């Protein structure tokens, strides 16, 4: 039977010094999240490897979707009975690795896989190739879910495409940085509201070095309801934000949604430029 509620845990954390440390921390936080009633844990962008680590390091850590990191995450998910969304560098036979995220179920099976399609700045473009396929909705426990990664969610079209597939919630591992707080404060509530869906945004915090200096991640992870209001909001530091999505709230808001009144025949120029 479809679940009336789904409880998410958003892990806001600084990047670990190694993948081994990151996996140890993921194991501990998965246990904590499950103990607090979470069904699904969402981690920041590239949570297991670090984000601003340079092209050489990204290439060295890149692996297939069923590689060693995936197997470790599957073991953790099974150990604690919790689904996990995590990011990693995915092998690309045609060039630089992809910035990827996948969802692993509590039975260790892959639920979904997605490659970031919109690369942010020179750092992103130096390390990754852009994915060339839009995110697809997947179903779990009767909920229709979609994956995006960081900068992707800042494009109205990406969330709308998932909404048109019937998405109930969009899950976003991210590494948003200072000074772009308006993404969390302004843009994300609008994305949730205009598409009548839940939006979960799991950000990094703390600093991370790279060739151009140090990035400082701005935290502010959040779970937003289909009315654009925050069901939970983190501050600037380490946090495990646990909040519940309720199908009744989704249905209530969708009763007055503007989506059924779209006139798609008028919108051709939006995709022709």
Q: Is residue 267 part of a domain?
A: no
Asked if residue 149 lies in contact with residue 101, where contact means CB atoms within 8 angstroms, the answer is yes
What is the rounded distance in angstroms from the CA atom of residue 50 to the CA atom of residue 57? 10
Number of domains in the chain: 1
Q: Specify the pLDDT at position 101.
A: 98
Q: Is residue 157 part of a domain?
A: yes
Rounded to two decimals, the pTM is 0.96
Neighbours of 196 (CB within 10 A): 23
Neighbours of 231 (CB within 10 A): 18
Q: Is residue 177 part of a domain?
A: yes
Q: Specify the pLDDT at position 272.
A: 74
Under DSSP, is residue 73 helix (H, G, I), strand (E, B) or coil?
A: helix
Indicate which CATH number applies to the domain containing 218.
3.60.110.10
Q: Is residue 122 part of a domain?
A: yes
Strand spans (E) along 205-249: 205-210, 213-218, 222-224, 230-233, 239-246
Q: Specify the pLDDT at position 240.
A: 98
Catalytic residue IDs: 45, 116, 150
Q: Which residues lie across from 214 on neighbouring strands?
A: 209
Pair of tokens at residue 56: 């050489």
pLDDT in tens, 205-237: 999 976 556 899 999 999 999 999 999 999 999
Q: Is residue 269 part of a domain?
A: no
Q: Is residue 265 part of a domain?
A: no
Name the stretches of the chain with pLDDT < 50. Answer: none
Q: Is residue 264 part of a domain?
A: no
Q: Is residue 271 part of a domain?
A: no
Range of the domain at 144: 5-255
């Amino acid at each position: 039977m479809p679940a009336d509620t789904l409880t998410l845990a958003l892990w806001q954390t600084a990047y670990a010094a190694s993948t081994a440390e990151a996996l140890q921390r993921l194991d501990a936080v998965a246990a904590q999240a499950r103990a607090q009633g979470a069904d699904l844990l969402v981690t920041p962008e590239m949570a297991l490897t670090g984000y601003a680590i340079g092209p050489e390091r990204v290439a060295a850590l890149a692996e297939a979707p069923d590689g060693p990191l995936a197997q470790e995450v599957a073991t953790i998910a099974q150990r604690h009975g919790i689904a996990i969304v995590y990011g990693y560098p995915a092998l690309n036979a045609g060039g630089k690795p992809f910035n990827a995220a996948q969802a692993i179920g509590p039975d260790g099976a892959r639920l979904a896989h997605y490659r970031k399609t919109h690369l942010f700045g020179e750092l992103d473009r130096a390390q990754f190739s852009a994915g060339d396929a839009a995110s697809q909705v997947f179903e779990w426990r009767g909920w229709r879910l979609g994956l995006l990664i960081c900068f992707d969610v800042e494009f109205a079209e990406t969330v709308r495409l998932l909404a048109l597939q019937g998405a109930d919630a969009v899950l976003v591992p991210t590494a948003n940085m200072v000074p772009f707080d308006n993404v969390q404060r302004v843009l994300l509530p609008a994305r949730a509201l205009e598409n009548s869906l839940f939006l979960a945004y799991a950000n990094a915090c703390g600093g991370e070095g790279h060739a151009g200096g140090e990035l400082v991640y701005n935290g502010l992870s959040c779970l937003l309801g289909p009315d654009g209001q925050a069901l939970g909001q983190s501050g600037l530091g380490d946090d495990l934000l646990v909040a519940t999505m309720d199908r009744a709230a989704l249905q209530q808001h969708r009763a007055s949604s503007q989506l059924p009144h779209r006139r798609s025949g008028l919108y051709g120029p939006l995709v022709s430029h």
